[in-house]
């Protein structure tokens, strides 16, 4: 299993669903500015979101605010009454699913520690019960077993904090049965269509990964494939006869392709779909009809290849009915004749619909954020530029309403490198980006080297390049924007979360005259201490991390060079740091170190800590506080004003 699937380490939680279109370039020079939208409208909880449909199609469920926290509600189709199933008031529910026609499972952590517990709620309104009430344990649902209504497969690191064991959880009794004991190197478990555990993916020596297989659950595990983590086959599901595997692979190629893998022959036997320019690693299928339906990849926005005419026709109908929006199928009933449809764009969080294939009936059930007027939003335009060493860097430029690439001149800019770093920015509605655009800022996002989706070579170019060529790609994008005349060179800020927070700090260190201010949100400041405080369940992958980011012993000189905390003497512009006290990924010590080092040198720094948050602020009031403080900070240091213009 490819490491980039393990190490989407730092992707910032505040960056929501992403995707969008080029927009039309206006020839006129008159600029119609957007109306000022209240900050809370961008960052408050959605009105209704995360719609799902029960297996029998009689009910749909959704998440909505209760006491400012996102909880689960259920409604019978065709009826007005709504029932709230959960009453969580301290923390948003992290996610949920239908276990069967009468019960819903959901996950929730405490204060952002990411030690999720699994709860069971009956749709009759009984008090929910916690099924994995263990302190300091992370529980996840790994298979909902749709054909076995009262069972699910979960994983927990209860026995050993560093590894996850799979359990069969019986919902009627709450009892659990361990299906296998993780010897310490298994990073993923996979089940066939009958719910039998037959595949495991393992890190064999800290760097190499192996695919393990067994014919039956009583058999011993056999290794069928071992590769270096840079080259791998990533299984996604069994073929419908439960003999071969369907998955993505970059073995012998630069870009991930969707392939069929023969377990007995231990080799790839068929390429199902590949693209010359982008990784293809997502594939969908119909459980009922036993056919592959589509594969998807992301260029500047999501694109699909259809295997199945019925699926192609379905999307053609939906795209015609919902013209101008991207479309995602987020769920269906067991018969697959009712589907939950989600729309979105660069300017809108979109809406949910129920689509019935019989008669092609499309019913709108809710807008996600109806208070936001998409006509007041800015265009998120795909852009590309050359790095100093000749790489093509793809990205996005969001302009305030009324501006085009032709008339946008000498504007204040926020440069926004993404988290990960082995992730990517995509096209779609991002409340942060549109909020900044509404305040008059141009926002530049770039998929610097190491960003996923562009193939193995582009990914590997980031190895041991934190703060170096990866940072140069960000700098080159900033200078590209200046050269085009869009950016006012005296009014550029850099802001990012997680790895983007690290890139913010390194940007201020390496380019002290390029940026006028920086905002670091849950970012790394010291590579030595960061490596020491990672969650225990990342430790089996530590050797991979050393190869990708650096070894604190072997690369100690590199680590000192690329750790911002050791170079605060180079930072000469204002800095704002925000941190969750319970962050399990980027320990609060990372923020404390940079803040204390800045204060010791007498450099202006603002510091916000939220005691009940982790890696990104989930609670609504904390989001308001952060973005309000960031707005004030940017207005003061970039626009030279204390008021919103």
**Which residues, listed in sequence order, are joined to residue 562 by a DSSP beta bridge?**
none
Question: What's the average model confidence in pLDDT over 517-522?
Answer: 97
pLDDT tens per residue across span 324-381:
999 999 999 999 999 999 999 999 999 999 999 999 999 999 999 999 999 999 999 9
- Cα separation, 551 vs 258, in Å, equals 33
Please give the average per-residue pLDDT across 594-613, as a whole number: 93
SS3 of residue 508 by DSSP: helix
Q: Render 251-310 in DSSP notation, one character per residue.
A: TTSSS-EEEEEETTTTEEEEEEE--SSS---EEEEETTTTEEEEEEEESSSEEEEES-HH
Q: Is the pLDDT of residue 627 over 60?
A: yes
Cα–Cα distances (Å) from 27 to 408, 409, 443, in that order, read 12, 14, 22
Averaged pLDDT for residues 467-472 = 98
Own/partner contacts of 156-159, CB < 8 Å, gap of 24 or more, are 156/132, 157/536, 157/537, 158/132, 158/134
Residue 202 burial (CB count, 10 A): 22
pLDDT tens across 225-243, in order? 999 999 999 999 999 999 9
Q: Would you say residue 4 has pLDDT above 50?
A: no
Question: pLDDT above 90 covers what percent of the chain?
Answer: 89
| pLDDT per residue as tens digits for the range 290-322 | 999 999 999 999 999 999 999 999 999 999 999
- Answer for the pair 546, 586: CB distance below 8 angstroms, yes or no: no
Least-confidence region, from 18-22, 79-83, 232-236, 273-277: 18-22
* CB-based contact 542:206 (threshold 8 Å): yes
Query: pLDDT grade, residue 644 (50/70/90)?
Result: low
Mean pLDDT of the chain: 92
Between the alpha carbon of residue 58 and those of residues 82, 85, 100, 149, the distances in Å are: 13, 16, 12, 16
Tens digits of per-residue pLDDT, 142-169? 999 998 989 999 999 999 999 999 999 9
pLDDT per residue over 191-227, tens digit each? 999 999 999 999 888 789 999 999 999 999 999 999 9
* Spatial CA neighbour of 150 closest among 107, 190, 120: 120
Between CA 490 and CA 470 the distance in angstroms is: 23
pLDDT for the residue numbered 530: 95
How far apart are alpha carbons 96 and 65 in whole angstroms?
15
Q: Where are the alpha helices (DSSP H) in 461-555?
A: 469-483, 499-510, 527-532, 542-549
SS3 540: helix
The full 3-state SS of 82-149, as one line of letters, equals: EEECCCCCCCCCCEEEECCCCEEEEEECCCCCCCCEEEEEECCCCCCEECCCCCCCCEEEEECCCCCC
**Does residue 306 contact residue 312 with C-beta atoms inside 8 Å?**
yes
Sheet containing strand 186-191, edge to edge, reads: 186-191, 197-203, 208-213, 222-228
For residue 630, is pLDDT > 70? yes
> Is 335 in a helix, a strand, or coil?
coil
Cα separations in angstroms, 254 against 126, 225, 313: 52, 19, 32
Record the tokens describing residue 252, joined without a space.
């012998």
CA-CA distances (angstroms) from residue 295 to 116, 312, 449, 454?
31, 11, 25, 16
Q: Rounded to whole angstroms, how far apart are CA atoms 593 and 564?
A: 10
For 322-334, the pLDDT digits (tens) are: 999 999 999 999 9
Report the alpha-carbon distance of residue 297 to residue 303 in Å, rounded: 6
Q: What domains are defined for the chain?
A: 47-166 (2.40.128.660), 373-637 (3.40.50.1820)
Distances (CA, A) of 47 to 23, 326, 365, 619, 627: 27, 20, 12, 15, 20
- pLDDT score of 467: 97
> What is residue 642's predicted lDDT score, i.e. its pLDDT?
54
- Rounded-to-integer distance, Cα 604 and Cα 288, Å: 61
For residue 463, what are its two tokens?
């190895």
Report yes or no: 226 and 204 within 8 Å, Cβ to Cβ: yes
């Amino acid at each position: 299993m490819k490491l980039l699937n393990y190490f989407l380490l730092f992707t910032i939680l505040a960056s929501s669903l992403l995707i969008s279109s080029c927009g039309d370039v206006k020839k006129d020079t008159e600029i119609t500015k957007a109306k000022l939208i209240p900050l809370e409208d961008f960052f408050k909880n959605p009105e209704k979101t995360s719609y799902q449909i029960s297996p029998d199609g009689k009910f749909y469920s959704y998440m909505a605010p209760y006491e400012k926290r996102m909880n689960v509600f259920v409604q019978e189709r065709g009826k007005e009454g709504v029932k709230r199933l959960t009453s969580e008031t301290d923390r948003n529910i992290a996610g949920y699913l239908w276990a069967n026609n009468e019960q819903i499972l959901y996950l929730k952590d405490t204060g952002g520690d990411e030690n999720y517990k699994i709860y069971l709620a009956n749709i009759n309104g009984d008090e929910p019960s916690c099924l994995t009430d263990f302190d300091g344990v992370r529980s996840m649902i790994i298979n909902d077993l749709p054909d076995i209504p009262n069972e699910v497969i979960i994983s927990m690191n209860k026995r050993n904090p560093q590894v996850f064991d799979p359990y069969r959880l019986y919902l009627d009794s709450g009892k659990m049965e361990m299906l296998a004991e993780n010897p310490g190197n298994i990073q993923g478990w996979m089940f066939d269509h009958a719910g039998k555990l037959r595949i495991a993916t393992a890190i064999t020596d800290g760097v190499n990964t192996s695919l393990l297989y067994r014919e039956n659950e009583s058999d011993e595990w056999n290794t069928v494939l071992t590769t270096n983590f840079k080259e791998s086959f990533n299984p996604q599901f069994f073929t419908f006869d439960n003999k071969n595997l369907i998955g993505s692979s970059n073995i012998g190629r630069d870009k991930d392709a969707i392939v069929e893998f023969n377990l007995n022959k231990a080799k790839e036997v068929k390429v199902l779909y590949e693209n010359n320019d982008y990784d293809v690693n997502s594939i969908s299928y119909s459980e009922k009809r036993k056919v592959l339906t589509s594969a998807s990849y992301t260029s500047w926005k999501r694109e699909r290849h259809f295997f199945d005419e019925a699926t192609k026709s379905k999307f053609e109908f939906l795209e015609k009915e919902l013209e101008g929006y991207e479309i995602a199928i987020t769920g269906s009933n067991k018969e697959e004749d009712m589907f939950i449809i989600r729309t979105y764009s660069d300017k809108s969080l979109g809406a949910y619909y129920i689509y019935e294939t019989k008669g092609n009936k499309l019913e709108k059930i809710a807008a996600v954020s109806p208070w936001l007027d998409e006509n007041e939003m800015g265009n998120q335009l795909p852009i590309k530029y050359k790095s100093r060493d000749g790489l093509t860097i793809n990205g996005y430029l969001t302009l305030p309403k009324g501006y085009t690439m032709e008339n946008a001149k000498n504007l204040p800019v926020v440069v926004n490198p993404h988290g990960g770093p082995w992730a990517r920015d995509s096209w779609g509605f991002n409340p942060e980006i549109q909020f900044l655009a509404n305040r008059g800022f141009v926002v530049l996002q770039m998929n610097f080297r190491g960003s996923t989706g562009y193939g193995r070579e582009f990914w590997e170019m980031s190895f041991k390049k934190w703060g170096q060529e990866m940072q140069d790609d960000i700098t080159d994008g900033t200078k590209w924007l200046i050269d085009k005349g869009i950016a006012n060179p005296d009014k550029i800020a850099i802001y990012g979360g997680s790895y983007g927070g690290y890139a913010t700090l390194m940007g201020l260190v390496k380019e002290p005259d390029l940026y006028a201010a920086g905002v670091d949100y849950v970012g790394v400041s010291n590579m030595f201490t960061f490596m020491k405080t990672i969650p225990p369940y990342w430790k089996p992958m530590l050797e991979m991390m050393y190869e990708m980011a650096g070894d604190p012993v072997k690369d100690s000189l590199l680590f000192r060079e690329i750790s911002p905390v050791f170079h605060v003497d180079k930072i000469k512009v204002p800095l704002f740091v925000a941190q969750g006290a319970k962050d399990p990924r980027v320990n609060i010590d990372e923020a404390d170190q940079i803040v204390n080092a800045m204060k010791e040198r007498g450099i202006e720094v603002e510091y916000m800590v939220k005691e009940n948050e982790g890696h990104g602020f989930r609670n609504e009031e904390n989001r308001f506080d952060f973005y309000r403080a960031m707005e004030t900070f940017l207005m003061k240091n970039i626009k030279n004003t204390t008021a919103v213009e």
